[in-house]
Every structure is written in C-alpha cells, then in structure tokens.
Chains A and B, each alone.
Chain A
C-alpha cells in the first residue's frame, strides 16, 4: 500500500498523541522487546484483575507504525477479559490500523507490540498461573509473528 494510505490520520494521531504511554507502578506483567533490525524498542506493563485487563501502559521508541500499533493495542486490550486478550491477532491490529499488504520489513514494525504482548501473556501463564499447555500455544504464536 502507498504511504498516502499508510500515514493517514489514524496512524499519525496515535503516533503524536499516544494513548496509555507510560509505566504502571506494580504491574502483573512486564515485558520488553526490541526489533534487532531497526532498533525499535517497546516495554509493556499490564495489570490483571478479576481475569480482566485492569490497566495497561507502554513505553518505547520507534517509527509511527510501531508506536501507533502499540498505542492502539493498549486501547484494544483495556477492560477485556483475559481470554479475549489472549486471542488478539495480527489481523485485529492491522485492520484497526487500516494497514493492508505491508512489506515484510514494515510488517515487523506493526507487529512488535503484539509480539511483546504475547510473550508477556506467555510469561504470566507460566509464572503466575502455572499453565504450560496454553502458554506453549501463545509462545508459538508469538514467535511466528516475526
């Protein structure tokens, strides 16, 4: 897709006015990752209460696509129950950002936040919930994102 299609209001708005930017004080989930190809960085903080996402924040630096996607993802998660969050997919994000047919390199920008989220859930399942079976599924999904 052309730049004119990619850099529409929605991406620029999320890039310049990031929602949920920052850190949580006592997060249940903290996950950080970076894209080795370009150096984009992202750290996500999540609080889970009553099996729901009670709060979520992120910090990071990177291109408009990666930051907008992180920002939007936090919005999409907020208040969702844990099972719904587990199911958030690549397609959900891309659709909400209005992105189709990104080249492979830019696709990685768009999916870094989802990768961080999936690995965050994975750690949470393993460490807090001692749930290895569905954790493995999530891990596989996460590693398939890049």
Chain B
C-alpha cells in the first residue's frame, strides 16, 4: 500500500510533519499507528512504527494522513529527506488505540515531546462527543520540544505546558502539572518517555482513576506475528493460582496488537 508524499516539512528543529495521500483509507482511531517503509532497499531493514497524528480534509487539494515525527536515527533521517511525490509504503492503521470513556468527568491527556501524536485525534473525538472537560498537559525540554502545540490551540481544549527550562508554560515536569490537575473523576491518557509514563501511572493509581498509556517498543511485523514487541503484563491476582498451573495465561502482551495503548494497571512497570 504505497502512499504518496504530499508534503514533508520541518515544524521545529528535528520535528517534521509528513502528509501522505489519504486515498479513502480506513480512518485511524486515536492511538493507532502505521508501519512505514520509508526507504527502498535494506538499509535500514525493518519498517518503523509511527502514530497517526491527524487526518486533514482540506476543501481543495488531497486528503492527507499526517505523521508527526522526530528525527532520532537512520530511518527518521531518511524520512526527513522525502519529497512531494515520493512513495512511502504504509501498513495500517494498526493496533488498539485509546478507549474513550464517554461523558465521565475530566479527561486529562499527558504528552511528553513527540508523545503528543495520539492526542490530536483523541482530543477531536473527546470534543466532538462532548465527553466532559478535556485537558492537555504537554511537557518538553523547551519551546523547541513541543511539536504541534499550535494545532491544539485551535481545537479549543485547555492546554497546559511544562518545560524543563521554563521557556513556555511552567518550569516543571509535566507530571507535576498532572499532580495538580488530577481529580477523583479524571481519566488519564498518556504518551511519552518510559519514565514519564511510569510516573503518570503512579499518580493515577494513587487517585484510583483509570489511566491508559501508549507504549513504545521496537517492532518488526506490527501485526502480532513475530512476538517481538512483547511487554510483560501483571497477571490479575485471580488468575495467579487458578490458571498459572495450566501455564495457559500468557505473561506477555504484544504492543502492536494488544496495544499500543494499555490500561496502566496491566503493565509490569519494573520489567518495562
């Protein structure tokens, strides 16, 4: 499934926005991702996973599914060199995204850096479903680490920013914003670095509110076949005696197929 590049622009240093011809594809649900093969040939060898950032339907021009990405290595470096008209092989949308808790209380999205990606579509859905209050907490090192920030302003949700250097928003960690923001009727959605997710999960657990995290693992197939992207899950205590004897309950789930979004209580955070 080859998609054409419509645009590929640097939105911040090392952050790019790639528009791919949408052409009547299945719409991605919030948190779903694509496996992209950005290069011909075998260097790099594997596909790379990228979340669906937005689907744009301009009045004129071609519909685009947008990939918002950060250049971190060989594959993303090659991606940054894609030009309009180039082909990109796209598999997806894949995986299970965020479960929408309709109506209930306060919806808090916690994003770290490029972890912002799944929240545009999620925010759209939350707003469209009038699902209570929606808040985005967005953390980064500085103002150049907050890709897409401008896009969220237009959506009309509450956006609070934390930066390490205080350039934008509060000078603190995004988890500190969460600690202030969280209420007993909150639902938390998080995407970002492992350390941040663990912290977020801890805060949510303390308040005993639902928390969904999107995990990042190296992937090969993206469809649950290779069993490479495993994460260790905490078996619910009820299973422990009854089922483990049968060795039948799998202690691993696949990020690509069972996730990338998981209930934070499911994850064995120490083994991540």
A and B from one complex: no
Q: Which residues does B use to contact A, with CB under 8 Å?
A: none
Q: Which residues does A use to contact B, with CB under 8 Å?
A: none
